Structure formats: C-alpha cells, structure tokens
Amino acid sequence: NAGVTQTPKFRILKIGQSMTLQCTQDMNHNYMYWYRQDPGMGLKLIYYSVGAGITDKGEVPNGYNVSRSTTEDFPLRLELAAPSQTSVYFCASHLGQGVSEQFFGPGTRLTVL
Amino acid sequence: DQQVKQNSPSLSVQEGRISILNCDYTNSMFDYFLWYKKYPAEGPTFLISISSIKDKNEDGRFTVFLNKSAKHLSLHIVPSQPGDSAVYFCAARYTGGFKTIFGAGTRLFVKA
C-alpha cells in the first residue's frame, strides 16, 4: 500500500492564480481531511469528507473548495491564491469513527507571491 | 482559542535520558488523546494514544500519562535516542467524534 499520496510536493503561485492539490489514499478509508500547517502553529482543519459525495467545512475553509467523487481521491482547490494561503498542506485519512488514528500524506509546500 | 496547548516550542535532551513533552487541553468533552511525530518534509505519523478511561498507556519506550482533573497529558520517552529528534504534536478528539484538534507541536532535540 502506498498509503496517502499528495501531489505536488512544492508549488509557487502568483496572487490570483488557481491550483488543485491532489490527494489519494489506497486504504479504502471513508474519512479524509485537509489540514494546513503554518509556522509555529498546529494543524488547522480546512475541509473534511466522511465518504464519497459528502464534504463539509472545517475550521478554516475560506478560499478553498473540495470534492469527493470517489473513495480514493479528495482534491483541494484554491481559486484565487492569496499570500495568506502560503502554508504546508497535509491530506489525511482514517477508517472511521472511534479510536482509529489518521494517516497523513507527505505534504505540499505552497508559496503564494 | 487554542483548545489543545503545547506550551514548550522546543526541548533539548541528552541521549539516554528521559524526554517529557507536555500538553494541556481546555475542553472536558475530549475523551481520546493522541501523539503524532513529524520529521522534516514528511507528514505526521501516529505514535501513541490514550482513552480518557485510562491514566497511562505504554508502548515500548513511549508512555503517555493522562491527568483528567488537571486536563493535562504528557509523553515520556525513555531512553531518548537521536532518532527521536522530531516535532511532536498532541491531539484530542471529542466524544463519539472523528475530528481531531491539534496542538502547535514541540520540537524535540536529542543530543548524542
């Protein structure tokens, strides 16, 4: 199993550009999450999904959109990039409610200039 | 308002000694706590967890202690090894929930 994979690893965007961060998991997990980590801060939840076709906002959803058309994929879309979106983005998944831990991807480092 | 707080941004320990990483939480509804370890340029990986019905959980060199009355948990690493040098995140989950709240992390340096 590859686990959780994310692409790209790094990206530099100009203000106003858009991009999609890709996330795929091969563990057949229902729950998937997008987090951002700013320097000296914990992981902040952007969006989450409890299954294909179901998504909901997390703590910091403004400026982002998601979709979940399959169990495996959970892309994160930035429509109009802003410097405040400079961060490291992590995708995670886990099996379901209860005590299971989350599995994280390696992260995407995004810089908006 | 931070619900999970790790007040020490960094900690330096000599190899072979004990590392103690602390975490405080404010919400009494949290009933499951986790520690994740993160190396540079990698995603966090699960280390150890504890349910609120326990006050201690041990896994090899790693032990987590929970003090519910103080809303405090700690991670003990004994003996510390240079490979333990990483950022450690404390995290908490609500009763019956699946969303996880993370602390800001503590960077551990283990000196050889």
The secondary element (H helix, E strand) that includes residue B19 is strand B19-25
Instruction: Inform me whether the pLDDT recorded for A97 exceeds 80.
Output: no
Residues whose CB is less than 8 angstroms from the CB of residue A31 and which lie 6 or more positions away in sequence, other chains included? A48, A49, A50, A51, A93, A94, A95, A96, A97, B98
Tokens matching residue A92: 């995670």
Residues of A contacting chain B (CB within 8 angstroms):
4, 31, 35, 40-43, 45, 48, 50, 58, 90, 92, 94, 96-99, 101-107
In tens, the pLDDT along B33-43 reads 999 999 999 99
In tens, the pLDDT along B15-52 reads 999 999 999 999 998 989 999 999 999 999 999 999 99
pLDDT at B1: 67
C-alpha torsion angle, residues A54, A76, B39, B45 (rounded to 10): 10
CB-based contact, B97 to chain A, within 8 Å? yes
- Best interface-test mutation with A: which of B23, B34, B98 has the largest number of A CBs within 10 A? B98
CB-based contact, B98 to chain A, within 8 Å? yes
Identity of the amino acid at A76: L
In tens, the pLDDT along A31-84 reads 999 999 998 888 999 999 999 999 999 999 999 999 999 999 999 999 899 999
Identity of the amino acid at B88: Y
